[in-house]
Structure 1
Amino acid sequence: MRIVTVSHRSGDLLPILLDGDGLPIPSPNEFLLSRRNLSTNTLIRNLRELSVLYRWLEDRQIDLRARLKIGTLFTEAEFSGGLIEFLRKDMESEDKVVSPHTFNNRLATIRQYFVWELDVYISSLPLSDSQYEVLQAARKRLMGWIDRAFINTPRAGSISRKSLTNDEAEFLLQCLNPESPDSFAHFEPVKFRNFAAVSLMLNCGLRPGELLSLRVEDIQIGSISSVTVKRRSPDPLDKRKPRPSVKRNGRVLPLEGHHFVRMLDRYIVEWREILTSPHI
């Protein structure tokens, strides 16, 4: 069982889950199509989580669709003593267990998948079918088991977050400053690129994917300098793997600091073309 990512002509990257024979597994891939608005990385993570479910189903020789037809997905013993314990395992080393955060992510995705699977099957039944009530009761029972299985994790406020102090950020920028004789790197265009990239992340709070998705036209240098973060349609010419993406809403951010703006302008005007040359 493995995941492959298919690049479409439109530029969309869509992962699919394959079985041991290299054939797509229909239901999880159909579920993924209903979530195509999410980023490729999120879809890949969802398939990894669903692959754990399908490994367990394969080990237990359980046909999910056949279970739906008889109106019973799992017994409580199968779910609590089988699936839940399997979801705790590290798939790379089965003698280890995953973190509570990873376990909860797996369970949340599987919950969404079961809801989708039940809704699709129930919607295909006629209203007069007696199985409708049976499946609704089975759904309520299964959702209750899943909701009770989540592990309580520490609140976000109690987790220590690591970030650069002002002094550390200043020291990092000084190390990268192209005008400093002690700056890292020997190639002038690389110096300006590194300084511009790190300065944009520190000054504007850009995520790595947002930084790597920027285009020259997104940066305005003038009396009021700014950078525009945009969510764009997939670019079929972008061959980077993994392809960077913007997950948050688009926004316009001010560029402040005379020295930073001047270095950014010099990189765009003088040095960027050298780095993008095919001869470099």
Structure 2
Amino acid sequence: MNIVKVQLHNGERLPMLLDSQGLPVVAVNEWIMSRRNRSLNTLSNNLQELTPLYVWLESRGEDLFSLIRSGRFWPETFTSALIECLRRGQRKGKKLAKLAVRPDTFNKRLSTVLRFLNWCFYVVLSDQELGARREVISEVQDKVNHALKDGYHSKEPSNSEVKKGLTAMQARFLQDVLDPESAMLVSSPQTKLRNYLIVALMLLLGLRPGEVLSLRLEDVEFGALTNVRVRRRRISAEDTRSCPASVKRAGRILVLDYPRLEKLLNSYAMKDREIAVRRANGKRSNFFFLSRDGKPLSESSVQAIFKRVRRAYPGKLPGNLSAKSLRHSFTDGLRRELKLQGYSDDEIRAILMYLRGDTGRESQDTYIDYQGQSAEAQKAYWLKVAGSRGADDVPV
């Protein structure tokens, strides 16, 4: 089984699953086509999660649609064998496979397999010539759903020792390292300014890497107050990146009332970016952030920024520093500030929903350090009810 990426004439990319003979697996690729409104990464992950199912079917010599149309009941041993296959690691080339994947990985596989199997059942049930077999197949679908849903693992406990976001001191230090006027990290002036602006936009506005890399020139509106427009667009044929950046969440207008950052953004757009454009040999790009050769910047280049500063300052910055760390810092830090200003929980959720582009009220929960906040509240509570009895200098 192999996954390839196909680029259409309009610039859209779609992943495709090929069997062991290099031929497209029709059913699963049709399912992916029905979900083409989702991002390329999401669809590629879906195919990765479905690959064990087809490896298992191939090993048993089973054709999925023939199996469903037959109306045969799937015995417990059948579904148990499928669940066990989803639990196992998949061999990649000559690399040894892990004995078992993490519970979270297994649950993702199982969820995707369930969605795909239900789609396959509905395709078969839509056949008008089934007759009396429709009730039997529908009953088999219910039993398969019930058996597979019983296989879910409990969620892994979070690692409480690893803080996902940055402290205020770490956030300031990261900006000091990347600041174009700083000598802490040696790089070309154009690259250093660009990297600083990318990190600053993610840290101060809560932008995702895909949202930063999707920005066009017209999306940054300079004026008395600079606006940064996050827009959802179809993938352009001009985007030559193997994994084009995309905006997954709602579009929004973010006000950037930060004079120095506005000045640096304008300087980059007018001077440093134009230097990169001239290196592109006439192939002018409308994307705001460009590589040194004038092409749209890739997400791997953004991740390389964090990899470099992690290695350069291991004692000053956390070992898990990444683009997502900045999103955690933005969400958790802004929530604390809004709380201090007296906003209610409902108002805070609404504000964060808009600034983050969320469509669900619980989307930001995973980015908020509830554990850290609860520890602070507990300490204040202990001080009230126990006084100084827990102090270090109290004799035991």
* Matched letter for residue 15 of structure 1: P
**1:248 and 2:249 correspond:** yes
**Per-residue deviation, 1:61:** 1.1
**Per-residue deviation, 1:275:** 2.1
Which residue in the other structure is 1:115 paired with?
118
**Per-residue deviation, 1:166:** 1.1
Which residue in the other structure is 2:142 paired with?
140
2-structure distance, mates of 1:216, 1:188: 20
Which residue in the other structure is 2:10 paired with?
10
2-structure distance, mates of 1:89, 1:159: 28
Q: Secondary structure at the match of 2:229?
A: strand
Which residue in the other structure is 2:333 paired with?
none
Classify 1:40/1:171 alpha carbon distance in 2 versus 1 (closer, same or farther; 3 Å).
same
Which residue in the other structure is 2:84 paired with?
85
Superposed structure 1 runs of 4+ greater than 4 Å apart:
154-161
* Matched letter for residue 117 of structure 1: C
Which residue in the other structure is 1:130 paired with?
132
Which residue in the other structure is 1:175 paired with?
177
**1:263 and 2:245 correspond:** no
**Per-residue deviation, 1:186:** 3.7
Which residue in the other structure is 2:76 paired with?
76
**Per-residue deviation, 1:227:** 0.4
**Per-residue deviation, 1:158:** 7.2
**Per-residue deviation, 1:72:** 2.1
Q: How does 1:44-55 map to 2 (within 5 A)?
A: 44-55=44-55
Classify 1:106/1:138 alpha carbon distance in 2 versus 1 (closer, same or farther; 3 Å).
same
Which residue in the other structure is 1:149 paired with?
151
Classify 1:157/1:218 alpha carbon distance in 2 versus 1 (closer, same or farther; 3 Å).
farther
The 8 Å contact of residues 90 and 98 in structure 2, kept in 1 or not, is answered as: no
2-structure distance, mates of 1:86, 1:143: 17
Q: What's the TM-score once normalised by structure 1's chain length?
A: 0.93
**Per-residue deviation, 1:41:** 0.7
1-structure distance, mates of 2:174, 2:263: 18
Q: Secondary structure at the match of 2:254?
A: strand
Q: Secondary structure at the match of 2:228?
A: strand
**Per-residue deviation, 1:203:** 0.7
**1:24 and 2:24 correspond:** yes
Provide the alpha-carbon RMSD of the alignment.
1.9
2-structure distance, mates of 1:185, 1:161: 28
Q: Percent identity?
A: 39
The 8 Å contact of residues 89 and 98 in structure 2, kept in 1 or not, is answered as: yes
**Per-residue deviation, 1:190:** 1.3
Classify 1:28/1:231 alpha carbon distance in 2 versus 1 (closer, same or farther; 3 Å).
same
Q: Secondary structure at the match of 1:231?
A: coil
The 8 Å contact of residues 227 and 255 in structure 1, kept in 2 or not, is answered as: yes
2-structure distance, mates of 1:32, 1:247: 17
**Per-residue deviation, 1:126:** 3.8
Q: What's the TM-score once normalised by structure 2's chain length?
A: 0.67
The 8 Å contact of residues 67 and 73 in structure 1, kept in 2 or not, is answered as: no
2-structure distance, mates of 1:272, 1:183: 23
2-structure distance, mates of 1:147, 1:160: 31
After superposition, the C-alpha distances for 1:141-173 in whole angstroms (9 at most, x for unaligned) are 011011111111047797955111111111111
Which residue in the other structure is 1:101 paired with?
104
Q: Secondary structure at the match of 1:253?
A: strand
Which residue in the other structure is 2:43 paired with?
43
Classify 1:186/1:31 alpha carbon distance in 2 versus 1 (closer, same or farther; 3 Å).
closer
Query: For structure 1, which runs of at least 5 residues remain unmatched after alignment?
Result: none
After superposition, the C-alpha distances for 1:15-38 in whole angstroms (9 at most, x for unaligned) are 111111111111101111111111
Higher relative contact order (CA 8 A, sep 6+): 1
* Matched letter for residue 221 of structure 1: F
Q: Secondary structure at the match of 2:223?
A: coil
Classify 1:6/1:124 alpha carbon distance in 2 versus 1 (closer, same or farther; 3 Å).
same
* Matched letter for residue 52 of structure 1: P
The 8 Å contact of residues 103 and 156 in structure 2, kept in 1 or not, is answered as: no
After superposition, the C-alpha distances for 1:172-229 in whole angstroms (9 at most, x for unaligned) are 111111123x242342211211111111111111111111111111011211111011
Q: How does 1:191-270 map to 2 (within 5 A)?
A: 191-270=192-271
Classify 1:18/1:132 alpha carbon distance in 2 versus 1 (closer, same or farther; 3 Å).
same
Classify 1:176/1:158 alpha carbon distance in 2 versus 1 (closer, same or farther; 3 Å).
closer
